[in-house]
Structure 1
């Protein structure tokens, strides 16, 4: 098992397969990608070896992230590769949704169990302003298609932005009222290149949490491989509302996930100062050395990030290792 010095067990791997993204979200890549980040991305064979090593150490869930993972033409094969690894029970994908209508069926056939789609506004003009793309209707159609296919979990991720979507809570609640979908609000996090933007736009998730509790929403119990979201349900709503609040007390106490970048770099935390390069361990199918390295590496995982002290580590932007 992968167990750190604080007795936390890591059963969840977040695997970035590219830093490249075709959206220009104001909180992440407002100027688009600034480097040729396609060079050196993990191959299918390397991904198989990596996921195999993690699975043999108790990892049960893999989330494929980016950048925008669907920009890789071999995404369907990557999904199938991860799902075929013995011990992996769940393969999930985080996407901006621009290829959902075209590829969701193929992804499902490859073994995809869950999709998280980033939608930061339900107003088309506001969505365009935030993302730089006028594609809200197409993405919502893709979400509906994924649900119709019967993909077990379809969720929406919404980054809270004080000046852009703070007034849309009623619209988001109406969206989940009549359909069984989970919508999660994510607090904006400070990264290396967004300090001034963060100061203008950060909105505490506790404000949403208090409104939900006042309206009769109830906290649900987490599954072992769930991420950090606190998910709430209401008897009058088919869907759920989740909150990811990295600035809240004890946010890191039950951390169960590790991150690997598209270049094969192990990040013990989204906001760590450093990473460990795993590439040298991915040249052969013998994963024993990689397993030993991972078991030793997790002993150096800090108890908590330092976001409260305005320290975001080496993370330049959220596309770097998948948020």
Structure 2
């Protein structure tokens, strides 16, 4: 299904191009300034300092846009990355300049060793931010321990504020547990608590204003995400509500909506209703992509490196790691994969025809 490339295929001739590639920019390690890793710099000069690691393919929800109705064939547990393999790969990326790691799934909070992984990641010199993306079902119960272990940021997926619609889209109960998790995160001092909402025409675009109102009295960052095509989610253009359409609807209610300045690599276009405590963002992956500033790489739960969320090429780090590869050999594979990263994704229509993993098997 996926194009998975082995280490042997990558070791030539791209390795030489990695060594020739200019080392663009600087990174700080303690008191020392080091060149940013050539292995994590692509041919367009994009520096990848953000790594997303999927910890599991399993989930306790069955969201329609994420998982095909018939479900997915799970990878045998022995073929998923172990605790030590996750930490080994993370250490290597951090040594090369990654300063933010996000743990995803499936649902990462159902992985039994999640706390152990966060504790080990916290020990990595140079890693500034550890984040988790969760569906929130188990968040209220686990969050105190997650915070103690060193979790910095939380993204919670929530696509509706109506319990009945929640059950429809997720094919499970649990709306009130998610809301409890959001409140618990606020109580424990997380600010902002990010709430990810995938907007789908005919399902929840009529709730845009209700989601904005969530930011009035709580330090939430509600992020509206354009519906994206992945295998089995029956994507079609008519279901997608564009960033501009969402913005126009919100401005009808709040015409004084303020645009906020964001960093170069920020994927969200940020806004704020004056006087509201929180703010909102739009992730316009389909209608107005941000490929030119992309700084992220992804590791799937079975150990494949994806350099683009919408690309179907993958490179197995698990296989060469289990063959006893040295750090240098791993870096050569990583650098060759990053060097092949395309300037931008193929566009929404081409992506919708492309064979790719379902979102549940990518990790977002």
Q: TM-score range by the shorter chain?
A: over 0.9
1:224 Cα deviation from its structure 2 partner: 5.9
1:219 and 2:259 are equivalent in the alignment: yes
1:14 and 2:52 are equivalent in the alignment: yes
1:156 Cα deviation from its structure 2 partner: 0.4
Give the match's secondary structure for 2:202.
coil
1:125 Cα deviation from its structure 2 partner: 1.1
1:259 Cα deviation from its structure 2 partner: 0.6
1:184 Cα deviation from its structure 2 partner: 0.3
- The alpha-carbon distance between structure 1 residues 75 and 38, as it changes in their structure 2 partners (threshold 3 A), is farther
> Residues 273-312 of structure 1 correspond to what in structure 2 (within 5 A)?
273-283=312-322, 286-312=326-352
Give the match's secondary structure for 1:116.
strand
1:279 Cα deviation from its structure 2 partner: 1.3
Give the match's secondary structure for 1:170.
helix
Select which of 147, 158, 169 maps to 1:119. Answer: 158
Distance in structure 2 (CA, Å) of the matches to 1:198 and 1:106: 41
Distance in structure 2 (CA, Å) of the matches to 1:220 and 1:83: 31
Give the match's secondary structure for 1:253.
helix
- The alpha-carbon distance between structure 1 residues 75 and 225, as it changes in their structure 2 partners (threshold 3 A), is farther
Note if contact 1:42-1:262 (Cα within 8 Å) is conserved in structure 2: yes
- The alpha-carbon distance between structure 1 residues 25 and 300, as it changes in their structure 2 partners (threshold 3 A), is same
Give the match's secondary structure for 1:34.
coil
Distance in structure 2 (CA, Å) of the matches to 1:38 and 1:205: 39
RMSD: 1.9
Return 21-30 or 42-51, whichever deviates more.
21-30
- The alpha-carbon distance between structure 1 residues 95 and 32, as it changes in their structure 2 partners (threshold 3 A), is farther
- The alpha-carbon distance between structure 1 residues 119 and 219, as it changes in their structure 2 partners (threshold 3 A), is same
Return 102-111 or 310-319, whichever deviates more.
310-319
Give the match's secondary structure for 2:293.
coil
> Residues 126-145 of structure 1 correspond to what in structure 2 (within 5 A)?
126-145=165-184
1:48-96 CA deviation, whole Å, 9 max, x = no partner? 1101111111100000001111121111111222222111110000010
Note if contact 2:209-2:250 (Cα within 8 Å) is conserved in structure 1: no
1:222 Cα deviation from its structure 2 partner: 2.4
Select which of 167, 188, 192 maps to 1:149. Answer: 188
- The alpha-carbon distance between structure 1 residues 285 and 149, as it changes in their structure 2 partners (threshold 3 A), is farther
Return 309-318 or 231-240, whichever deviates more.
309-318
1:293 Cα deviation from its structure 2 partner: 2.3
Note if contact 1:100-1:139 (Cα within 8 Å) is conserved in structure 2: yes
Give the match's secondary structure for 1:319.
helix
Give the match's secondary structure for 1:8.
coil
1:206 Cα deviation from its structure 2 partner: 1.5
Give the match's secondary structure for 2:228.
coil
Note if contact 1:270-1:315 (Cα within 8 Å) is conserved in structure 2: no
> Residues 91-130 of structure 1 correspond to what in structure 2 (within 5 A)?
91-130=130-169
The equivalent residue for 2:245 is: 207
1:264 Cα deviation from its structure 2 partner: 0.8
Select which of 8, 24, 47 maps to 2:62. Answer: 24
Higher radius of gyration, 1 or 2: 2
Query: How many equivalent pairs are there?
Result: 321
Structure 1: tracts of 5 or more residues without a match:
none
How does the TM-score come out when normalised to structure 1? 0.93
Distance in structure 1 (CA, Å) of the matches to 2:72 and 2:292: 35
Distance in structure 1 (CA, Å) of the matches to 2:251 and 2:44: 31
Note if contact 1:15-1:259 (Cα within 8 Å) is conserved in structure 2: yes
1:319 and 2:360 are equivalent in the alignment: yes
1:270 and 2:304 are equivalent in the alignment: no
Structure 2: tracts of 5 or more residues without a match:
1-36
Note if contact 1:188-1:198 (Cα within 8 Å) is conserved in structure 2: no
The equivalent residue for 1:4 is: 42
Distance in structure 2 (CA, Å) of the matches to 1:242 and 1:55: 28
